[in-house]
Amino acid sequence: MKSLNLAALVVATSASSAAFATQYLTVEQAQQVMFPDATVFKDANLQLSGEQMQQVEKLSGLPARSVGWRVFAAYKSDTRLGYVVLDDVVGKFELISYAVAVNADASIKQIEILTYRESHGFEIKSPAWRKQFIGKTPASGLYVGNGIASISGATLSCTHVTDGVRRIAAIAQIMLKK
């Protein structure tokens, strides 16, 4: 009897955590939202060298975390408008998938939450919160409490997404800046 109750609890817990997952945008939709003038998006995936990973860590104050990064270059005809960088960070327990649009000068153009899987903290999807990142670089207030406000009840999501964006901003400065 106890094993049946335990099994029912496991199923109920699994179902409740999965029920909170919300996909807001696909990668393709995010690309179009962030670069509406783009006529084409080309794969521009990055592979960081050991030296570049050290530079990212120094510039962002965070571990570089990965050698490979999924990146798309946005073009209008032959003119490169910028890049879309995809990433996932852990909120409190679950992954948050998001995209960062980077201008040609390597500043942040925009961020979009693609999929949010946590039961709390979805307020980071708010345009007002995401707007704080526009124009930022690793050296210009890309920290919760210093340039980026936190949201009560979404502290970990705010912090982890902000850290992820700061890491991507550092990668952009090192690898993508014109």
For the cut 80, the answer to whether the pLDDT of residue 53 exceeds it is: yes
Length of the chain: 178
SS3 of residue 76 by DSSP: strand
Q: 109-118: per-residue pLDDT in tens?
A: 999 999 999 8
What is the DSSP track for 79-125?
EEEEEEEEEEEESSSSEEEEEEEEETTS-EEEEEEEEE--SS-GGGG
All structural domains of the chain with their residue ranges: 21-176
Q: How far apart are CA 14 and CA 17, in angstroms?
A: 5
* Of 153 and 178, the one with more pLDDT: 153
Residue 72, pLDDT score: 98
Among 118, 117, 121, 125, residue whose Cα is nearest residue 153: 121
- What single-letter amino acid sits at 162? T
CA 83 distance to own-chain centroid? 13
For the cut 60, the answer to whether the pLDDT of residue 15 exceeds it is: no
For the cut 70, the answer to whether the pLDDT of residue 145 exceeds it is: yes
Band of pLDDT at residue 95, cut at 50, 70 and 90:
very high
Average pLDDT taken over every residue of the chain: 89
SS3 of residue 142 by DSSP: coil
Q: Residues 147-169: what's their mean pLDDT?
A: 95
